[in-house]
């Protein structure tokens, strides 16, 4: 798989990231990132998040169709919720703190949804 501008991708850990953009200011090994992301939150052209041999929860493994109205010929994709959006923002910060620690990456994913749940509760008030 080769990443493409504007597309969304599912990570090994189940998260959806996108739309992807190519940022020439990022490391040449990791030119792909999310809009407005920090250099630490970037991927290789093939979707790898880390250059180690270990598989990473943030490695991109498949393209995902994201649309308000999916084509009728395809089954509807999993819907990305506001909670998911909040978790992705929190995860972006956690990723920069725990980049090389696999155990902490899982913890960062769990914590990002804990933060998202708190944001959803605060939103109700």
Q: 62-79: per-residue pLDDT in tens?
A: 999 876 665 566 655 677
Q: What is the pLDDT of residue 63?
A: 92
16: enclosing H helix or E strand: strand 16-17
Query: What pTM was computed for the model?
Result: 0.50
* Residues with Cβ within 8 Å of residue 102, at least 6 apart in sequence: 54, 56, 57
Question: Residue 66 class from Cβ within 10 Å (0-12 exposed, 13-18 middle, 19+ buried)?
Answer: middle
Q: 94-120: per-residue pLDDT in tens?
A: 676 665 555 566 677 778 888 888 888
**What is the average pLDDT value for the chain, to the nearest integer?**
77
What pairing do the DSSP bridges indicate for beta strands 16-17 and 20-22?
unpaired
| Closest among 87, 7, 13, 90 to 50, alpha carbons compared | 13
Q: What is the pLDDT of residue 61?
A: 92
Q: 10-53: per-residue pLDDT in tens?
A: 988 888 888 888 877 766 777 777 766 665 678 888 888 876 66
């Amino acid at each position: 798989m080769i990443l493409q501008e504007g597309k969304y991708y599912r990570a090994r850990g189940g998260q959806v990231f996108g739309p992807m953009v190519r940022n020439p200011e990022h490391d040449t090994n990791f030119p792909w990132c999310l809009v407005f992301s920090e250099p630490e939150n970037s991927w290789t052209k093939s979707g790898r998040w880390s250059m180690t041999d270990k598989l990473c929860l943030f490695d991109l493994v498949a393209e995902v169709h994201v649309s308000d109205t999916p084509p009728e010929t395809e089954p509807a994709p999993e819907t990305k919720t506001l909670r998911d959006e909040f978790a992705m923002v929190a995860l972006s910060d956690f990723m920069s703190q725990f980049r090389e620690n696999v155990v902490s990456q899982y913890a960062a994913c769990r914590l990002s949804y804990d933060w998202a749940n708190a944001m959803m509760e605060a939103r109700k008030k």
